[in-house]
Amino acid sequence: MVMDDAANTMTYSSDGSRKVMQLYGALNVDAEGYITMPVKDVLGVLDQMEFLRTNWKAADEKAIYFEQQHAKINAELE
């Protein structure tokens, strides 16, 4: 059950990254600096960006926590 949820999150995150990068690429290719896109798609991309941002922030916080725990354990072992 937990693995299924993690797999779905990973797929969702990957799809979100792809969509955000496609939008970024389209903006860079367009000489005028804008593209036509349905509002629904723009809102979807913004949701994906927020999802990715919060996941990135959580991953950074988790990495800091584990580094602190590792340093604490090493200090206790010395």
Domain coordinates in residue numbering, the chain: 2-77
Q: Is the dihedral of CA 16, 20, 26, 32 positive or negative?
A: positive
The DSSP annotation for the chain comes to -HHHHHHHHHHHHHHHHHHHHHHHHHHHH-TTS-----HHHHHHHHHHHHHHHHHHHHHHHHHHHHHHHHHHHHHHH-
* pLDDT value at residue 13: 58
Checking if the pLDDT of 45 tops 90, the result is: no
Task: Give the Cα separation of 13 and 22 in Å (integer).
Answer: 14
CB atoms under 10 Å from CB of 9, counted, come to 12
Average pLDDT score, the chain: 76
pLDDT in tens, 9-38: 444 557 767 777 777 777 777 666 666 777
